[in-house]
Structure 1
Amino acid sequence: MLDTLGAEDTPRGDAQPSDDSEMFELAPISLWLEDFSEVRALFDAWRAEGVTDLRAHFRAHPERVAQCAHSIRVIKVNRKTLTMFEADSLGTLTSNLGTVFRDDMLKTHLEELCQLWTGAPGFTSQTVNYTLGGRRLDVLLKGAVLPGHEERWDRVLVSLEDVTELEGARHRLSHAEEYARGLFEESPVSLWVEDFSAVKRLLNEARAAGIADFRVFTDVHPEFVERCMQEIHVLDVNRHTLAMFAAPDKQTLLSRLPDVFRDDMRPHFREQLIDLWDGKLFQQREVLNYSLDGSEVHVLLQFSVLPGHERDWDLVLVALTDITARKKAEAYLEFLGKHDVLTKLRNRSFYVDELNRLERKGPFPVTVIMADLNGLKRINDQLGHAAGDALLRRAGEVLAKALETPFHAARIGGDEFAILMPNTDERGGAAMIDTIRQLVEMNNQFYPGSVLSFSMAAATCHHGERLEAVVQRADLLMYDEKRAFYASQIQAGSSED
């Protein structure tokens, strides 16, 4: 036994203790010599009562865990133990064991007892103790029944290793991981963690093959871009990503990535590859994706190879900010800038710009049709502006139905319209007027009430002529037709507009 064995004949030296007792005393780890004989006696009694499952027995009789703990007698401790627990003597320490071993100590003690019950020669556990001053100690506890005392357990050596700093570091690391995970999962933007290492290898292989101009290479070999796209491995996405792309869960989203990244995404990805080829490891661009329900999702994509992964690109963070609402607003503002809200035709601003463009670039000949809605003032005066607006909307429907790109119809005044027809001669202009009149007739059959009617005339501009002069000529011809229309109305007894 450690407390009785002596070694009087062992030579003493500076680095060698005189006997086992001195080794125990000077050990740099907390050592406890304890007597578990009463615990052994309790175990024997319970076995005699028929107990086979100690854990179940403790669940039924939780007070017996404390009974075992109180049965253990501390024989001695070493200096490290007194220092570690802030005790000035063994007596002080043993008289305050309730301060040292408290709270959840019995839960780990139960595990130690169960290890002994199964016949193990010792036990291990990680638990929490407290110094006499109340400071928490995380300890790694190991116990062993000393040789020669296996029958009675009257000598058990217990070591306590202070792992408080290690546990603190582990808790801080765990907290940092939870914090980082929380930031990732709860981010208000879509976050993707991806592995681009296979893409990196493909680019390296292309470079090793002598490719110098990567843009030209991808022009000639678009399948290389497709292959790179397929080699991206998505490691994780956050919750906002699922909501943004209408996905019920991560597995569904990741299994349907081709539905998300398609069509217009390919040219954007090609530009991303070209930037990576040029060494740009942080990028941002606006791209178009699709949600799983098929709707467009316009996003601001921010791509970054994470620090420490620049060599292999095996960890990449992609942030997608939904800018769909902004893009729709921009598109609507652009529409308003070039369209008439009521008729949905082009507006005067577009007409002026297009007229100037055709003046410079053609293609000639350019035919201009000027059209004026007949009877709008009378309808506004007699039936109200709502009826007049309805007639204007019908005019817009007819002109939009008659025209296809590159022809354009524009509302340039209250009841005035202009049709621009590049690369069209006089016969094409006359044919268009006939088409519009046929559509007007069909429209009047469909809409009862106010009659839709246009006064129209066309003029053609050939190369070398001023387009503005041709517009004026078409306008004069249109007003001649309009005067004839109202003259016929007067003869028929109608009110003049």
Structure 2
Amino acid sequence: MSALPDRHSGDYFELMPVALWEEDLSALKLIMAAWRREGIEDLEAYLAAHPDEVKRCAHSIKILRVNQSALDMLGAKTLAELTAHLAVIIRDDALAPYAQELLQIWRGQTRFTTTTMNYRLDGTRIDIRVNGRILPDETQSWSRVIVAIEDVSAQEDARRELEASELQARAMFNDSPVSLWFENFSLIKARLDELRHRGIVDFRTFIDVHPDFVEMCMLDIHVLDVNLHTLRLFQARDKADLLARLDEVFRDEMRGFFAEQLVALWDGRLRHEREVLNYRLDGEALNLILQFSVMPGHEKDWSKVLVSLTDITARKKAEAYLEYLGKHDVLTGLYNRSFYMDEVNRLERKGPFPVSVILIDLNGMKQVNDESGHAAGDAMLRRIGEILTQVVEKPGCAARIGGDEFVILLPGKSAPEAQAVLSDLARVTELNNQFHSTQTRLVLSVGMAVCKAGEKLEAAIQRADSAMYADKRAFYATAPELDRRSRI
């Protein structure tokens, strides 16, 4: 063992506020020399395969002395007490970091550093940063090494907490049940700032006049990351697949939605929400709630924004179906009486005139229901729905307004044009009867009237109704036995 330093340097060692250890690594030097003679070159792989060798190296170190700061750090009263409890202070979970220290010395470094953990004598874990140096006069023997140990538990706790927080945030991002996108909008921010610098005030008018500006901004979006739900939602194989095909996702109506988003950003709304329409990679439309937020700390450049997309496609389909039910007759697929009345009021106010009206009644419906059952009657009504769907083209409309009563409204159609529709109705009805030759024949009574400009539409409807009932009376007069197989 080398002679101790003189009294003055010893005082410095003892009085240093940092925990200091003076160690003798000469036994470690012999171990490493033996490894080199054995031809070991990749020490890292060797120690990974022989963890007991790390423990042997740790036990080979001889502690010459420690200062009071070191004793206080580990809760020991004397060097003897400290060395007697080294197995408590340095445990197995410290060996892996210690292996890194060995690798530095193996490579010829006379200075080494590592971060590891020790345990106080009361069992409390402390994180430490080790900085060691083989003294210049002892580089051949390694018999005197000064090691400074710093308690970095607070920093390490903060680091672990930060890592745990980041892992939790990453897990929340990846496993979120909504589609999440991290995007960079800094180029868009620069474009908007440039417009303000040029004196543009009315941004909405600007993009109306320069629609290409919206297109350029869409191309300026840089997608930083997406979560797993996004890949599932858009049916992408992986992130690369999705990012390579963004033009298939954001297209058509998305330009209008994005223009409104730009207006919101121009107005300073860095957090906003709206409904948008995107497309899956298989072409299926997706109705989505888009929530946009510039991340805290990025308000100056918009370099990181979070976009969340909530799929409301099923809800929109349900709403559309409910809206459909509010306007349509489920059995025939035609418009219902409620829509018909609204359309009459609309045409009464706005036209266009003339408006032709055709009223239709199915003859013999009651007898079919009585003799063959309501299922047979419903089948006949569905057939009428099929016929009127083929015959009536927009802007005309056909509606079921009663049990077996139907109406056709033909805005902007004159009497000759309405007569052509009646001819089509007779022709398609006959074709339908031929196709359903084994079922009851459809026999319709019809009446037509034309409402000219300045006339009340209700009056024309009453005339058409009267004409339809006249046609029905004429039919029953020729077929008192209700045989309806020979006439439309």
Change in Cα spacing, 1:411 to 1:53, as seen in structure 2 (3 Å) is: closer
Preserved contact between residue 225 and residue 270 of structure 1 (Cα < 8 Å): yes
Change in Cα spacing, 1:24 to 1:493, as seen in structure 2 (3 Å) is: closer
Partner residue, 2:465: 475
Aligned counterparts of 2:291 and 2:49: Cα–Cα separation in 1 = 59
Aligned counterparts of 1:194 and 1:46: Cα–Cα separation in 2 = 53
Change in Cα spacing, 1:195 to 1:94, as seen in structure 2 (3 Å) is: same
Partner residue, 1:302: 291
Please say if 1:457 is aligned against 2:447: yes
Aligned counterparts of 2:297 and 2:40: Cα–Cα separation in 1 = 58
Deviates more, 1:65-74 or 1:256-265: 65-74
Partner residue, 2:105: 116
Partner residue, 2:277: 288
Preserved contact between residue 33 and residue 157 of structure 1 (Cα < 8 Å): yes
Counterpart amino acid of residue 27 in structure 1: M
Change in Cα spacing, 1:236 to 1:443, as seen in structure 2 (3 Å) is: same
Helix, strand or coil: the match of 1:143? strand
Deviates more, 1:28-37 or 1:171-180: 28-37
Cα deviation, 1:89-131, whole Å, max 9, x if unaligned, reads: 1111111111111122233333333433333324322211111
Partner residue, 2:376: 387
Preserved contact between residue 31 and residue 160 of structure 1 (Cα < 8 Å): yes
Residue 4 of structure 1, CA deviation: 2.8
Partner residue, 1:11: none
Aligned counterparts of 1:262 and 1:383: Cα–Cα separation in 2 = 53
Q: Which structure 2 segments of 5+ residues have no match?
A: none
Partner residue, 2:417: 428
Partner residue, 2:212: 223
Instruction: Write out aligned runs for 1:195-206 (5 A).
Output: 195-206=184-195
Counterpart amino acid of residue 471 in structure 1: I
Helix, strand or coil: the match of 1:433? helix
Please say if 1:179 is aligned against 2:168: yes
Change in Cα spacing, 1:446 to 1:160, as seen in structure 2 (3 Å) is: same
Aligned counterparts of 1:171 and 1:312: Cα–Cα separation in 2 = 30
- Alignment match of 2:198 (pick from 197, 206, 209): 209
Partner residue, 2:117: 128
Residue 40 of structure 1, CA deviation: 2.5
Partner residue, 1:413: 402
Aligned counterparts of 1:166 and 1:40: Cα–Cα separation in 2 = 33
Counterpart amino acid of residue 163 in structure 2: S
Instruction: Write out aligned runs for 1:321-340 (5 A).
Output: 321-340=310-329
Aligned counterparts of 1:66 and 1:311: Cα–Cα separation in 2 = 54
Helix, strand or coil: the match of 1:104? helix
Residue 62 of structure 1, CA deviation: 4.3
Residue 263 of structure 1, CA deviation: 1.0
Cα deviation, 1:166-194, whole Å, max 9, x if unaligned, reads: 11111011011111111111111111111
Cα deviation, 1:399-448, whole Å, max 9, x if unaligned, reads: 11111111011100011001111112222222211111011111112222
- Alignment match of 2:357 (pick from 352, 363, 368): 368
- Alignment match of 1:94 (pick from 83, 93, 117): 83
Preserved contact between residue 226 and residue 239 of structure 2 (Cα < 8 Å): yes
Counterpart amino acid of residue 73 in structure 1: K
Q: Which structure 1 segments of 5+ residues have no match?
A: 8-18
Deviates more, 1:388-397 or 1:139-148: 139-148
Helix, strand or coil: the match of 1:346? coil
Aligned counterparts of 2:119 and 2:196: Cα–Cα separation in 1 = 63
Helix, strand or coil: the match of 2:138? coil
Aligned counterparts of 2:32 and 2:410: Cα–Cα separation in 1 = 105
TM-score (norm 1): 0.92
TM-score (norm 2): 0.94
Aligned counterparts of 2:482 and 2:380: Cα–Cα separation in 1 = 22
Partner residue, 2:252: 263
For these two proteins, the number of residue pairs brought into alignment is 484
Change in Cα spacing, 1:359 to 1:53, as seen in structure 2 (3 Å) is: closer
Cα deviation, 1:249-278, whole Å, max 9, x if unaligned, reads: 111111111111111111111111112222
Helix, strand or coil: the match of 2:183? strand
Identity in percent: 54
Preserved contact between residue 2 and residue 24 of structure 1 (Cα < 8 Å): no
Helix, strand or coil: the match of 2:409? strand
Preserved contact between residue 2 and residue 21 of structure 1 (Cα < 8 Å): no
Change in Cα spacing, 1:333 to 1:47, as seen in structure 2 (3 Å) is: closer
Partner residue, 2:9: 20
Aligned counterparts of 1:54 and 1:279: Cα–Cα separation in 2 = 60
Partner residue, 1:190: 179
Q: Tell me how large the CA RMSD over aligned residues is.
A: 2.0
